[in-house]
């Protein structure tokens, strides 16, 4: 159907004010936060301790440590697994930067593996070829809320004696073969940033079932001390440490939101199913998948555009940007989640994290190749994707998914109006 696109002066498919913001705030959130303010313990306080216990119980972990960010929790995981100077950690070539910079934080070298086009996760068939005598761990990123094939990853890890770190920062409540992310490797990191399925404003959680890893992570978390603020501290640093602790106020907010998390994830799944049904026949869209045995949490609903069919294979990123601008004009808050494969970023191309080429030129490190052509799928994905977050989140329901689908249908049916020469 030929319609005038909103970007060209036509009516919006999704009227302003239709899509409600994330996260929903109710009296339970206000009460928890105000009680924290009135409680007088504003550093690592009682809500932090309770948040750790409640999150561990919700996710099914023995141990949990609440942190000031998901990035901090990832760094703690690298340290907990004994990774150090001269070691290598395998990382997917497409993720958020902290999935790889957390490795640099401990003077360890990341080794990138390209992603699988269908799942957007690390290509598990290419991991073993990246293992060297220096490899110490594998970081798997459950990207956009879809779990990695952990049977394949754990088999490789067992064969080569490697640790498995789950970057579950986007994967709250996602499952693989009925088990929650964060329980599938040796340890894991979650994020509670504004955009995450569990929002505390900021913050994170390190989780594990291994007591030794728990103790190692705890030491990095609190100045290198072996005793935490919950214990009788001696204020002595036994090893290199950071200050990654959370504080009481975001922990209180996180506790209130945790009580609603199952409902949030259920709503995201319902909305994603409705959107997928509606978009199935829209031309030139490549929709996200949910392989058998996986339970997606739909943190991010990521579509790709068939640029070959659209006649824009040679200018895919540029034409993708035109489509995204048209979708935004229709009232659909479409975003580009990550424009660059990680190995294409300057810090990795320059191989100069701390100056003087470290950690790559440190005496115990080996040669690593970050040539961009090795990561062709990550590049293709980065140039052809677009994401939806808030429209699928509570309190928005299937009726919003319907309107979003109408907007996609409208833009893709009139996509020739976005050609610069027409």
> Around Cβ 176, how many Cβ atoms within 10 Å?
21
Q: Which CATH number fits domain 27-259: 3.40.640.10, 3.40.50.720, 3.40.50.620, 3.40.50.10950?
A: 3.40.640.10
Using alpha carbons, list the distances in angstroms from residue 254 to 198, 216, 415. Answer: 7, 25, 42
DSSP structure class, residue 352 = -
- Beta-bridge partners for 66: 205
E-strand ranges in 86-167 read 88-92, 109-113, 135-141, 163-167
Query: Hey, what CATH topology would domain 6-23+262-338+379-418 get?
Result: 3.90.1150
Nearest to 183 by CA among 174, 170, 195, 196: 174
Alpha-carbon span 30 to 34, nearest angstrom = 6
Nearest to 217 by CA among 88, 334, 61: 61
Mean per-residue pLDDT pooled into runs of 10, the chain (422 residues): 88 96 97 96 96 98 98 97 96 97 95 98 98 98 98 98 98 98 98 97 98 94 71 69 93 98 98 98 97 98 97 95 98 95 96 90 92 97 98 97 98 90 58
Phi and psi at 299, nearest 5°, equal -50, -40
Structure tokens at 363: 């005496």
Segments making up each domain of the chain, as ranges: 6-23+262-338+379-418, 27-259
Residue 204 Cα to chain centre, angstroms: 12
Q: What angle do CA 184, 188, 194 make, to 5 degrees?
A: 125
Alpha-carbon span 382 to 42, nearest angstrom = 41
Residue 104 Cα to chain centre, angstroms: 18
Sign of the torsion angle spanned by Cα atoms 387, 292, 95, 264:
positive
pLDDT at 422: 53
Put simply, whether the predicted model's pTM sits higher than 0.85 gets the answer yes
CB-CB contact of 225 with 235 (8 Å): yes
- Beta-bridge partners for 167: 141, 189
Phi and psi at 379, nearest 5°, equal -65, -45
pLDDT at 3: 85
pLDDT at 299: 98
Same fold, 6-23+262-338+379-418 and 27-259: no
H or E segment to which residue 65 belongs: strand 63-67
């Amino acid at each position: 159907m030929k319609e005038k696109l909103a970007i060209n002066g036509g009516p919006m498919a999704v009227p302003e004010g239709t899509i409600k913001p994330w996260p929903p705030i109710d009296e339970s959130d206000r009460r928890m936060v105000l009680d924290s303010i009135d409680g007088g313990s504003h550093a690592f306080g009682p809500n932090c301790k309770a948040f750790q216990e409640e999150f561990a119980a919700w996710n099914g972990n023995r141990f949990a440590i609440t942190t000031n960010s998901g990035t901090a929790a990832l760094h703690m995981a690298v340290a907990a697994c004994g990774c150090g100077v001269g070691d290598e950690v395998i990382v997917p070539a497409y993720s958020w930067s902290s999935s790889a910079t957390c490795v640099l934080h401990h003077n360890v070298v990341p080794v990138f593996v390209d992603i699988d086009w269908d799942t957007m996760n690390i290509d598990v068939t290419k991991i073993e070829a990246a293992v060297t005598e220096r490899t110490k761990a594998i970081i798997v990123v459950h990207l956009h809320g879809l779990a990695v094939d952990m049977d394949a990853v754990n088999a490789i890890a067992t064969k080569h004696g490697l640790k498995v770190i789950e970057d579950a920062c986007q994967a709250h409540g996602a499952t693989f073969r009925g088990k929650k992310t964060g329980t599938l490797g040796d340890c894991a990191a979650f994020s509670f940033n504004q955009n995450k399925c569990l929002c505390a404003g900021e913050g994170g959680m390190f989780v594990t079932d291994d007591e030794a890893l728990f103790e190692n992570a705890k030491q990095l978390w609190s100045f290198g001390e072996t005793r935490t603020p919950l214990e009788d501290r001696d204020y002595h640093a036994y090893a290199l440490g950071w200050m990654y602790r959370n504080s009481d106020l975001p922990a209180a907010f996180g506790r209130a939101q945790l009580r609603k998390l199952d409902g949030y994830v259920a709503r995201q799944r319902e909305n994603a199913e409705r959107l997928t049904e509606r978009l199935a026949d829209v031309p030139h869209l490549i929709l996200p998948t949910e392989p058998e045995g996986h339970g997606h949490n739909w943190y991010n609903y990521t579509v790709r555009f068939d640029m070959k069919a659209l006649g824009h294979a040679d200018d895919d990123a540029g034409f993708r940007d035109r489509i995204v601008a048209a979708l935004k004009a229709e009232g659909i808050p479409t975003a580009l989640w990550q424009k660059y494969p990680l190995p294409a970023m300057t810090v990795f191309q320059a191989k100069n994290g701390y100056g003087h080429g470290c950690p790559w030129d440190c005496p115990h490190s080996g040669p690593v190749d970050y040539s961009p052509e090795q990561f062709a799928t990550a590049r293709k994905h980065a140039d052809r994707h677009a994401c939806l977050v808030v429209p699928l989140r509570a309190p928005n329901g299937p009726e919003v998914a319907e309107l979003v689908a109408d907007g996609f249908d409208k833009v893709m049916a009139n996509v020739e109006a976005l050609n610069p020469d027409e």
